[in-house]
Structure 1
Amino acid sequence: METSVAGRRRTTTRHSAEDQALDQIAKEAEARLAAKRQARAEAREIRMRELERQQKEAEENADRVFDMCTDANRAMRVTPDPVRASRLLAGTNNFQSSRRSSEDSLEDAGLGRDLRIELKEFEEKFRKAMIANAQLDNEKSSYSYQVDLLKDKLEELEEMTAQLRRELREKNREAEQSKRLSQRLKEDLDICRAQLLERDTLIQENGLVIVEDEGSEGEETQKENGPVVRKRVLVSTEAAELLQNAGEGSLDVRLRKFASEKKEQQDEIRHLRLELEEARNRMRPERSSGSVLGLSDSEDAQREANKLLADYKFKLQKAEQDMSTLQATVARLESQVIRYKSAAEASEKAEDELKVEKRKLQREVRESQGRVEELETANSHLQRRLDKLKNAKSALLKEL
């Protein structure tokens, strides 16, 4: 039993050391993860500023191109047509031109109007195309930023999933160790129960009786501070009857009562011996001069005294034997009770601790499994969103 208790202590110490090591590893992993998250956040901010700058430059370029096109259109509108001017000048100089020249001038005027209308239409289309291009560029930048964010989140979720899986494996390993330790403790408990059953069988076979200590004032004082286990003593049937006849109280009180009775008997025997010596001394001078009747009376008194003395000696010897037997039995049973009590308390305490640890580990395993399932669901959802964004991006690129 002592070996098993020592083994459990070593296991508990090793378990605490493993817990400290695992806690240190978890703290380092959390620190690394926090550093990675901070670095990603900084990179995300830098990337966002870069995208905003690129978007602003694209808008400025689009505005610049649009302004250039507008200036060119205005210049084309302000600049006079040399052909038309020459024709108008010729018309003023030659008012009476031919019919064909007038028809050509009308056709040229209609052609100029058509060209101006087509130019306006092309300018409007170009402006719309530039606006659409800028919008598409903005959407492309926004989608790229969202894709980068989703990639970062996906990487973080993958890291968290891997960390949770490692923690789950560690918790499963600890749970297996706890199960093995619980099995060993159950085996030790079965061994203790078998030993107790064997002890009870031996007690019954030898005709012994377990006497329980009824407690004392000191034990009553200890009850206020905590539970007190009463002492039990293994004695013979005769000794149990003697202790029962001795009255109520603890074993120490009963043994003190036996000791006081023994002392009283010894004092009484000593007193009787003194009386016997005095009677003998008185009877010596009377023997020489006394009659036959006096001699017979003294002989009867002597016989009574001897008989009484023999009875007291026998009782004294028997009491001494019983006392020594009880003391040896008390010492032996107290040592056994202390040993069994310590072993039982250690087993019960270890069993309770293992039950608490088992429930705690089962709860942590369930929580870890729930977190893993949630992360897997979020991972699959983010993967679907990423696929949709990739498809939308590819469709936009095809349209462009």
Structure 2
Amino acid sequence: MADLLKPEVWTSSSNECLKLFITTDGAAINFQPSFTYPIFGDSESIFGFKNLVIFLCFDHYTFYPFLNVKYDEKLDDDTIKDPKETMMKFLPESTVFKDEVKWVDEINKEYETYNIPGEMISQFETYKIYKINLKDLDGIELQKRLQILVLLFIEAGSFIDYKDELWDLYVIYEESETSKPSIVGFTTVYNYWKYPGSTDFDNGVEQIRKKISQFVILPNYQGKSIGSKFYTHLYEFWLKDPKIIEIVVEDPNESFDDMRDKADLTRLKSVLDLKSINFEKLSKEWIENFRSEQKLEKRQFNRLIEMILLNNYKTFNNLSLKQIRLFIKKRLYEKNKEALLTLDKPTRFDKLQTAYQSLEEDYYRILGGVKLYTREGETIESSNNKRAKLSV
């Protein structure tokens, strides 16, 4: 009876009580979600149960889901929400509840006829990338099984409308000689149609902007550069398609931004002599031609060029740091012109200098994790990341 007066006894952290598992070859890999508020509310807590544990398991190959909810005691209150019912709103109908034997039987049954529902478009090392067919029932089912990970690992993530034919789903698998392939991660990509101009439109020219929306690598595969290679191989695949004119990313978080910067710099090194980039080469014509050729959005291209300039200055001392500083400040000023013009000159100059210093430090931090050109025995120094108060 005393416990009824202690809400903390009946309250569980949904981030802690939700246990995620990937099963493969009789073993199970456990990891915790980063977020649960899209499922259980902003407080990320569940009330009404003692010692609540929610098990959400997936098969490594088909991602067939299994859900089990356990607790020692439940409050006798009709307003208490059942965690099973809450979770099932975000899981496919195929999800097996409670009966683990039935789940294993369903997996084995599915294995008899299951093939990855899509086309392999690229591969590296022991990994293969598939474009999933979202017009196929098996492709739709796989999307439904994967999509809860968007809520659990991407802040402000949401489900895509797989019925919209402009969405693509790419899944990366690890191949094995002794077992079925294992899902490593996935990304969703939206295809924006772009008007090519009246002449090209009349001639049937089609132009598309690819926008990476969601990008998930399972926790047990993180820290192995797989995400970077996944992104790079997708990018190289899209570069070959003449219809695609630009590749962009929707609201990337800091970790994705870092990965993308390093992957893009490494990729550019393979197609361009980065040492040759200097202010004589950076004409408006060259910039636009190279940016279009590489299908980079303007902001990302600017960041890459600025990092390359700083790398060349730091490594070869063949550029003027003052030139680089003015080059970067000019872009910052143009991007923030409206806000800066409301300030007096000393404050304006101070804001620009602070933003530049912060950006320079961040650039060197990123360059510290990339193998670009360095003098023998030297590496680019990294420093703590400090965010500018201007848009960069």
TM-score by length of 1: 0.18
User: Higher Cα Rg: structure 1 or 2?
Assistant: 1
Q: Give the strand-richer structure, 1 or 2.
A: 2
Q: Give the helix-richer structure, 1 or 2.
A: 1
